[in-house]
Structure 1
Amino acid sequence: MDKDLKKLIEALEAQGFTVERTSKGHVMVYRDATLVVTFSGTASDWRAMKNGIAKARRFGFKWPPKR
């Protein structure tokens, strides 16, 4: 898992999302027991992170987090 995904996971957890890691290395993000998005542990597509953030924003995720 790269450092950008780790920062994203920390921000998701801080905003009340539940994050689980599968045995295959995928990161599954839930909000109130509803699957929001699944991130690959090692995404090969440069748009994968942006598309995942867009899906999470539809569920109330604020990105980038305020400092």
Structure 2
Amino acid sequence: MSSDQRKLEKALKAQGFEVVPTQNGHKTVRKNGIRVTTLPGTASDHRSMKNCLAALRRAEFQWPR
């Protein structure tokens, strides 16, 4: 896991999101028990993190662009 992902997870937890590891190496992000998105386990797709951040912003996550 990269340092950017660690920073993101720390910020998610600070803002009340729950980060739960899955069996296949990804991490599911939930807010109030509802799944928001899944963080990628690897960066094989260059859009995966941007897509995750977009979904998190729609769920009222504050992250600088």
Same fold at TM > 0.5: yes
Over the matched positions of the two proteins, sequence identity in percent amounts to 50
Does 2:7 correspond to 1:7?
Answer: yes
Q: How many residues align?
A: 64
**SS in structure 2 of the partner of residue 5 of structure 1:** helix
Structure 2-normalised TM-score?
0.90
Moved over 3 A (4+): none
Structure 1-normalised TM-score?
0.87
> C-alpha distance in 1, partners of 2:11/2:46?
20
Displacement of 1:23? 2.5
Which structure 2 segments of 5+ residues have no match?
none
Q: Which amino acid aligns with 1:52?
A: C
Q: Is the 8 A contact 1:20 1:28 kept in 2?
A: yes
Q: Could you tell me which residue of structure 1 aligns to residue 51 of structure 2?
A: 51
Pick 1 or 2: higher relative contact order, CA cutoff 8 A, min separation 6: 1
